[in-house]
Amino acid sequence: MKNRRLFIALPVDDRALIKPLGSIYSDLNKYSSILKSVSIENLHITMKFLGDVDEDKMLKMADLFSSLENPGSIEYTIKGAGCFPSLSAPSVIWAGIQCDMGIMSKLYSLVEDFCESFGFERETRRFIPHLTVARVRRGKDIPPGLKEFIKSNKERVYGTSVFNRLVLFESKLDKTGPEYISLAEVRLA
């Protein structure tokens, strides 16, 4: 039986955000030798990374996914740039998300409950909604210009929109980057 690489996410579906978000990519392209950018078409908030899941469990999850409670759509603003784990040693560059954290936390809890019912452990780290825009390549030093870019863009607003669907995705990895395949979704409204 084949395993599938799965995650649950809120995709950025609003194509009107591509132009304003393009500016962050043009700035980060200066550092393409040390950064691996996430395709702007693949931007999402990861609610739960499940990793390799056997096909039987995947089919059961996909079948029951639409039964998740619907807390409603989530209006959001993409604001600021930052990094994990720290500015002195970043491994992920992100764009920030501002939204109603009451609704977002409820949805996050529903996702955790759903996944726990399939034997996945609950996340112990605090949930911080963000859009990963790039990852630092292993063993690469961060130049001062990239750190300055992150610091100087903490308050920049890139746009506003609405998350209107929660998706169970399969991620197929290849040399050109990941391909995300929607297996099931919950429409948020």
Q: What is the CATH number for 44?
A: 3.90.1140.10
Question: And the tokens for 152?
Answer: 């100087």
Neighbours of 101 (CB within 10 A): 13
Task: Give the pairing of strands 74-84 and 92-99.
Answer: antiparallel
- Sign of the C-alpha dihedral, residues 41, 43, 46, 51? positive
pLDDT for the residue 140: 83
pLDDT for the residue 177: 80
**Burial tier of 54 (Cβ tally within 10 Å: 0-12, 13-18, 19+):** exposed
Interval 66-88: pLDDT, tens:
999 998 999 999 999 999 998 88
pLDDT for the residue 107: 96
pLDDT for the residue 138: 87
What's 137's DSSP letter? P
What's the rounded Cα separation, in Å, for the pair 29 and 40? 13
What's the rounded Cα separation, in Å, for the pair 38 and 20? 16
3-class DSSP state of 113: helix
Q: Are 81 and 93 in contact (CB under 8 A)?
A: yes
Q: Which residues of the chain have pLDDT under 50?
A: none
How many residues belong to the chain?
Answer: 189
What's the rounded Cα separation, in Å, for the pair 139 and 154? 26
- Sign of the C-alpha dihedral, residues 102, 105, 109, 114? positive
pLDDT for the residue 22: 87
Range of the domain at 61: 3-187
Q: How many domains does the chain have?
A: 1
